Amino acid sequence: MLDVRILETAGPIEEGRFFEAFEREIEGVGDEAARRHLTAGRPIYIGDDEFPGRVIRLYPDGRRELMRLDEHDMLVVDRFL
């Protein structure tokens, strides 16, 4: 299982590798893994073609945040959706 906390200190290369592995993991197990994370009270990160270069953090309560890397390569909330 991938640990999203690495994104807090990851540079662009590490972040790219993380999201590639994340996509492979999600594709391999389908929506089941996402549901397990949400049921356990953890947010999930999803991509959306409407927001290239960004990810959406989806919380179990339905809140959604658009995330981006800042100038220090830190993952930050760009805006609430």
Q: Map residue 25 onto helix, strand or coil.
A: helix
pLDDT at 28: 61
80 phi and psi angles, rounded to 5 deg: -85, 140
Q: Map residue 57 onto helix, strand or coil.
A: strand
**Cβ atoms < 10 Å from Cβ of 7:** 20
Q: Two tokens at 67?
A: 């995330």
| Better pLDDT: 21 or 61 | 61
Query: How many degrees, rounded to 5, is the angle at CA 47 between CA 43 and CA 49?
Result: 150
- Is the pLDDT at 8 greater than 80? The verdict is yes
pTM of the model: 0.61
- Is the pLDDT at 24 greater than 80? The verdict is no
pLDDT, tens only, 29-81: 667 878 888 999 999 998 888 998 899 999 999 999 999 988 888 889 999 99
